[in-house]
Amino acid sequence: MGKTAIAIRHVGFESLGAFAPAIRAAGYEILYHDVGIDDRERLATLDPDLLIVLGGPIGAHDERNYPFLTDYIRFIASRLERGWPTMGICLGAQLIARAAGSRVYAGTVKEIGFSPITLTEAGQKSCLAVFHESPTTLHWHGDTFDLPRGAQLLASSQLYENQAFSLGENIIAFQFHPEATSTGFEQWLIGHTAELAGAGINIPRLRADAKMLGESLDKKAGIVCRSWLNQIQV
């Protein structure tokens, strides 16, 4: 029986993106679990070899409006307790932080667009090492989180200190979007139009940046994902 990777997807256009080829090449069958469509009770009975919790526009702390978050946080926490391979991206990173007992809350400013991250010493030895020489990535968030107890901080940006962290060898979280690719990026601009307007983002400029940086971002995504998959302990 082959290995299985389940990706929890909150909105259709925020997928595994440029991470998908590396995951498939490592021998995983990718299955998407679409929040609000697929049965979350059944998800709780599955033990995938790899779990990836993707991004989305809701708040990881907003159970009042989105009560299903409680079930997903509980499911993620069960994996953290057992040290099973788990990755979180943006909202997914915040949900991992919450599952690890940390606070998630509104930030002081929206961070949307392409800008650099700075790696910590631990980050330079991690799967993010490629960002040391080529630090630009896509940011798209307004919330942030406290670093979980026992976590290693891997990266920061000018606006937010906690941009990436690891918990042991098998759990990693990215507040930014290393998986984003220029393919399908127009759907991000459509799907997040209200947020972009509210933040005063120049959409033509964002589109042009995605086109210009797309090839290099895709390449870095593959390196990051392959490196992480090679280091996890199963």
Q: Whole-prediction pTM value? A: 0.96
- Of the CATH numbers 3.40.50.880, 3.40.109.10, 3.40.50.1820, 3.30.70.270, which one belongs to the domain with range 3-231? 3.40.50.880
- Give the pLDDT band of residue 165 (cuts 50, 70, 90): very high
Q: At residue 175, what are phi and psi to the nearest 5 degrees?
A: -75, -35
Q: What is the mean pLDDT of residues 96-115?
A: 97
- Give the pLDDT band of residue 41 (cuts 50, 70, 90): confident
Please check whether residue 30 is in contact with residue 23, taking contact to mean a CB–CB distance below 8 angstroms: yes
Question: What letters, b where the CB count within 10 A reaches 16 and e where it falls short, cover 107-135?
Answer: eeebbbbbbebebbeebeebbbebbeeeb
Cα separations in angstroms, 54 against 35, 199, 206, 229: 10, 22, 21, 17
Residue 190's Cβ-side half-sphere holds a number of Cα atoms within 13 Å equal to: 8
Please check whether residue 14 is in contact with residue 188, taking contact to mean a CB–CB distance below 8 angstroms: yes
Q: What is the mean pLDDT of residues 107-117?
A: 97
Cα separations in angstroms, 152 against 86, 123, 145, 174: 15, 8, 14, 12
Return the closest-CA partner of residue 180 out of 94, 59, 57, 54.
54
Dig out the tokens for 211 from the structure: 């086109």
Q: How high is the pLDDT of residue 234?
A: 72
- Give the pLDDT band of residue 1 (cuts 50, 70, 90): low
- The domain limits of the chain are 3-231
Dig out the tokens for 215 from the structure: 């090839």
